[in-house]
């Protein structure tokens, strides 16, 4: 494994960690932690803690660095210690989105934190590199505990579909100071269920409110619009803003203007033109309405997104039909047609994004 580029090559952590430690006067404290609390493997006490845990929080990111944090749970000790440098956890049935696994496929780095909420209130961080392994492969190539082999051989929903194997790079404590002590209550686990009741159903009412295309609440729309504008460019001349200025439009004519205070973000030169009436108020109102419409559910961009989603559904149906109903010759023709459609769609989206 290639060593990370840090300010001090003999220390763990990132360049950012070391810069902030120096900036905030914490260099000595951090060095003490690295030397006295951090390992590149699991010791016996860490292994014992893992053997008592039935939950873990994992963090992954894709190739672009966009992060996702998720929860994994299972029977006590479900995260198996394969050796001092390797742990593995099972992926059970029900993980149909594969957000974490998809990230691992693009970017193997993973962060795990186990929190002992019920006894010590201590946490254990494990950071490392993850790989996705199927049941047969892991059974043949890793020294699995007997209990894990039993899980693989079971026929119930408790059977792992596959495993994530983690090569440990860092293992260290998360202090107990702010971790609450909780009381464990009984709950029946419905392994492998598809029941919406047991899975939580539409708890956040996303489907009820229209799914992914649900309308953004007007207040949130205003806030999103404001922050998107304020951090980028002048809304009149579109030059990059080193120092934003604000102009409030008094008594706008258009009733469609929706902002917190009918305010445009502008550069100093445009602000001077506005104050000397070099730019007409009606033009400013039009520009303000343009910015608002970017986030409207009926905007051009949102229409493109809905069109793309609809086309994706049609393409999926076409593929299913091709694979089940058609002859080889017809299949080739349909695949060529599909490639042409995707190619055209890609050019269309690039030109209009």
Q: Is residue 316 part of a domain?
A: yes
Q: Is residue 283 part of a domain?
A: yes
Q: Verify that 326 and 265 share a domain, yes or no.
A: no
Q: Is residue 179 part of a domain?
A: yes
Q: Verify that 275 and 311 share a domain, yes or no.
A: no
Instruction: Go through 273-308 and write b for each residue having 16 or more CB atoms within 10 A of its CB, e for each that does not.
Output: ebeeeebeeeebbebbbebbbebbeeeeeeeeeeee
pLDDT tens for the chain, 353 residues: list them: 344 444 455 788 888 899 999 989 999 999 999 999 999 999 999 999 999 999 999 999 999 899 999 999 999 999 999 999 999 999 988 777 899 999 999 999 999 999 999 999 999 999 999 999 998 888 888 888 878 888 888 777 778 899 999 999 999 999 999 999 999 888 888 777 777 777 777 777 777 777 777 766 656 655 665 556 555 677 777 777 766 677 766 655 454 444 445 677 788 888 888 888 888 777 777 777 776 665 555 555 555 566 666 666 676 666 666 555 556 667 777 777 888 788 777 777 666 65
Which residues neighbour 65 within 8 Å (Cβ) at sequence distance 6 or greater?
107
Q: Which spans in 180-246 are helix H?
A: 196-199, 218-230
**Nearest-5° angle of CA 300, CA 305, CA 311?**
125
Domain of residue 178, residue span: 40-199
Q: Verify that 46 and 181 share a domain, yes or no.
A: yes
Q: Verify that 45 and 194 share a domain, yes or no.
A: yes
Q: What is the pTM of this model?
A: 0.61
Q: Verify that 281 and 304 share a domain, yes or no.
A: no
Q: Verify that 156 and 187 share a domain, yes or no.
A: yes
- As for how many domains the chain has, the answer is 3
Q: Verify that 194 and 304 share a domain, yes or no.
A: no
- Do 79 and 86 contact (CB within 8 A), yes or no? no
- Do 104 and 59 contact (CB within 8 A), yes or no? no
């Amino acid at each position: 494994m290639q060593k990370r580029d840090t300010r001090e090559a003999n220390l763990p952590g990132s360049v950012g960690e070391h810069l902030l430690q120096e900036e905030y006067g914490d260099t000595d404290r951090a060095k003490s932690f690295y030397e006295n609390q951090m390992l590149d493997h699991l010791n016996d006490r860490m292994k014992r803690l893992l053997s008592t845990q039935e939950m873990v929080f994992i963090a992954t990111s894709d190739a672009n660095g966009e992060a996702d944090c998720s929860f994994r749970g299972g029977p006590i000790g479900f995260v198996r210690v394969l050796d001092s440098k390797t742990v593995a956890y099972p992926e059970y049935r029900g993980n149909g989105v594969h957000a974490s696994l998809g990230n691992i496929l693009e970017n193997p780095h993973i962060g795990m934190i186990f929190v002992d909420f019920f006894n010590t209130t201590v946490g254990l961080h494990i950071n490392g590199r993850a790989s996705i392994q199927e049941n047969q492969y892991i059974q043949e190539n890793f020294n699995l505990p007997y209990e894990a082999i039993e899980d693989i051989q079971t026929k119930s929903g408790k059977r792992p579909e596959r495993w994530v194997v983690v090569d440990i790079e860092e293992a260290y404590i998360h202090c107990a100071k702010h971790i609450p002590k909780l009381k464990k209550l009984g709950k029946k686990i419905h392994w492998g269920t598809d029941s919406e009741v047991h899975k939580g159903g539409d708890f956040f009412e996303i489907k009820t409110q229209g799914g992914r295309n649900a309308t953004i609440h007007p207040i949130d729309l205003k806030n999103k619009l404001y922050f998107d504008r304020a951090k980028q460019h002048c809304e009149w001349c579109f030059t990059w803003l080193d120092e934003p200025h604000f102009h409030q439009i008094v008594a706008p004519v258009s009733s469609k203007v929706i902002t917190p205070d009918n305010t445009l973000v502008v550069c100093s030169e445009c602000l001077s033109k506005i104050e000397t009436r070099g730019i007409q108020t009606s033009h400013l109102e039009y520009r303000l309405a343009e910015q608002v419409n970017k986030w409207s559910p009926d905007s051009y961009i949102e229409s493109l997104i809905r069109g793309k989603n609809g086309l994706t559904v049609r393409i999926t149906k076409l593929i299913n039909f091709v694979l089940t109903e058609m002859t080889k010759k017809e299949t080739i023709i349909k695949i060529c047609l599909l490639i042409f459609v995707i190619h055209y769609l890609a050019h269309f989206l690039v030109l209009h994004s």
